[in-house]
Amino acid sequence: MSKKKLAIISPGFMPVPAVRGGAIEQLIEYFIDGNELEHKYDIDLYTINDKLLDNKKYNYTNLIKIDNKQNKWIWHFIYGVKNKLSVFLHREQTYSYVRYKIAKKYKRNYYDVILVENNMDLYKDLYPKLTHEKIYFHLHNNVDCGDNAKTKEKTSFVLNTADEIWVVSNFLRKRLLRIDSNKKANIKVIYNGIISDDFKQLNEIERKSVRGKLGIKDTKIVFTFVGRLCNEKGIDKFIQAMQLLKDKENIEYIIVGNNFFGTSSEDTYIKKLKDSAKGLENKIHFTGYIENKKLYKIYSVSDVVVIPTQVEETFSVVALEAMAMGLPVIASNSGGLPEVLSDKCAEFIKRDKDFVNNLSKEIDNLAENKELREKMGKAGKKRSKLFPNSAMDYYFALDKII
């Protein structure tokens, strides 16, 4: 029986397979890994090139690699001029070398199915070349349904031209329906997933060893943040809550991300974070970037995960990872977070003027209540099973809809 010819168009910012990280890139990798076992599709995967892809070989996925020449000064200059001219002429269009090359290399009249991952500009560039293909657009990010006319126009274009749009939560589905309420049948929810086998608990000896390397005594209650150090992710609010608890000797913190105490070339935001964290140098432990497959070590030495995001999260893989590790969560009442978590495994903080105060109270409460932490952790572990827990789970979720 002939296999379906499937084109997967990656977002075009990071390579796939996910040799440089990236949540969406990792999810695409889960799908092509699953297809290696099931082989329902012959796949062409359009991805930005990277030297780490040289040793990546698949039987049923052909990597069509695009060199990002926009990093070269001449192309950087050319596309910079084109984009400035577009703004000057009040055009909606933006220009990108990688988008242009992917659209140029796309094989017209060749595929049965095309899946475009989370890049509406790239989708619009490709659309004139599409003919008989079944078209799926996979949306991971929140969309502005209010005053941003440009985003709304692009979203409407996708809604009216794709056969189906896949979203990562019911929260995001409802956002799209605010733009066009007639598209209920065309918008499908596919939850993100993780490889639960990658999130195993360290034994007691290993746990003490990792804590020792971080400079954390075994008696401390550790609250952990995993994410980008930016306003959107709420790291500034987390630090303000730490300051309210600076006299609590039993509480310490792990930050998975950049060490702003050691940053020499600092932007205004990092400088602001440094200033707000004065006096906490011995309580905050920075790990730097940690690849996904090693995160279990950090979760294993943590007692609670904190997700203080200040924007509408569409899903939150960190929340799912925390649940899989049996850890309680303190999270903003934001977007799809209450959909991933539940009040049995998480404490939710309303994003209002009292956010920092209430966050500090929840940190203090869980630090003092081991029984509650354990109860919430068990509930989270059970809940994590509702979501894809392996590459094959995720593969089958997508395959079922295709």
- Which residues does 135 contact at the CB level (< 8 Å), separation at least 6? 114, 116, 161, 162, 163, 164
* Residues 46 and 12 occupy one common structural domain: yes
Interior/surface letters 144-165, b for 16+ CB within 10 angstroms, e for the rest: eeeeeeebbebbeebbeebebb
Both tokens assigned to 214: 């971080």
Q: Which band of pLDDT confidence, cut at 50, 70 and 90, is reported for residue 293?
A: confident
String of DSSP letters for 316-359: -HHHHHHHHTT--EEEES-TTHHHHS-TTTEEEE--STTHHHHH
What's the pLDDT at 80? 60
Q: Give the separation between CA 245 and CA 188, rounded to whole angstroms.
A: 43
* Residues 309 and 377 occupy one common structural domain: yes
Q: Which band of pLDDT confidence, cut at 50, 70 and 90, is reported for residue 68?
A: confident
Both tokens assigned to 292: 């996904």
Q: Give the separation between CA 243 and CA 304, rounded to whole angstroms.
A: 18
Task: Give the mean pLDDT of 177-184.
Answer: 84
- State residue 225 phi and psi, 5-degree precision: -115, 130
What's the pLDDT at 276? 86
* Residues 151 and 237 occupy one common structural domain: no
Both tokens assigned to 281: 């140098």
**C-alpha distances in angstroms, 132 versus 112, 183, 199, 392?**
7, 21, 42, 29
Q: Give the separation between CA 229 and CA 308, rounded to whole angstroms.
A: 11
Q: Give the separation between CA 321 and CA 341, rounded to whole angstroms.
A: 11
What's the pLDDT at 100? 84
* Residues 210 and 68 occupy one common structural domain: no
- C-alpha closest to that of 129 among 239, 225, 218, 9: 9
* Residues 82 and 119 occupy one common structural domain: yes
* Residues 138 and 231 occupy one common structural domain: no
Beta strands in 228-321 (DSSP E): 251-256, 284-286, 304-307
Q: Which residue has the tokens 């619009």?
A: 124
The continuous run of DSSP H or E covering 66 comes out as strand 61-66
What's the pLDDT at 52? 93
Q: Which band of pLDDT confidence, cut at 50, 70 and 90, is reported for residue 260?
A: low
- Parent domain of 343: 196-384
- C-alpha closest to that of 380 among 331, 320, 300, 330: 320
Over residues 209-250, the pLDDT tens digits come to 999 999 999 999 999 999 888 888 999 999 999 999 999 999
* Residues 89 and 228 occupy one common structural domain: no
Q: Which amino acid is at 366?
A: L
Q: What is the largest CA-CA distance in the chain?
A: 68
* Residues 187 and 255 occupy one common structural domain: no
Classified as helix, coil or strand, 248 is coil
Sign of CA dihedral 154, 129, 135, 15: negative
**Which residues face 226 on adjacent strands?**
256
CB-based contact 52:20 (threshold 8 Å): yes
* Residues 393 and 349 occupy one common structural domain: no
> Percent of the chain having pLDDT more than 90?
73
Task: Give the mean pLDDT of 181-190.
Answer: 88
Count CB atoms within 10 A of the CB of residue 264. 4
The continuous run of DSSP H or E covering 74 comes out as helix 73-88
CB-based contact 379:345 (threshold 8 Å): yes
Task: Give the mean pLDDT of 98-107.
Answer: 90
Task: Name the domain count of the chain.
Answer: 2
**pLDDT value at 200 more than 70:** yes
* Residues 14 and 95 occupy one common structural domain: yes
* Residues 345 and 218 occupy one common structural domain: yes
The continuous run of DSSP H or E covering 116 comes out as strand 113-117
Count CB atoms within 10 A of the CB of residue 323. 31
* Residues 188 and 200 occupy one common structural domain: no
- CATH number of the domain bearing residue 361: 3.40.50.2000
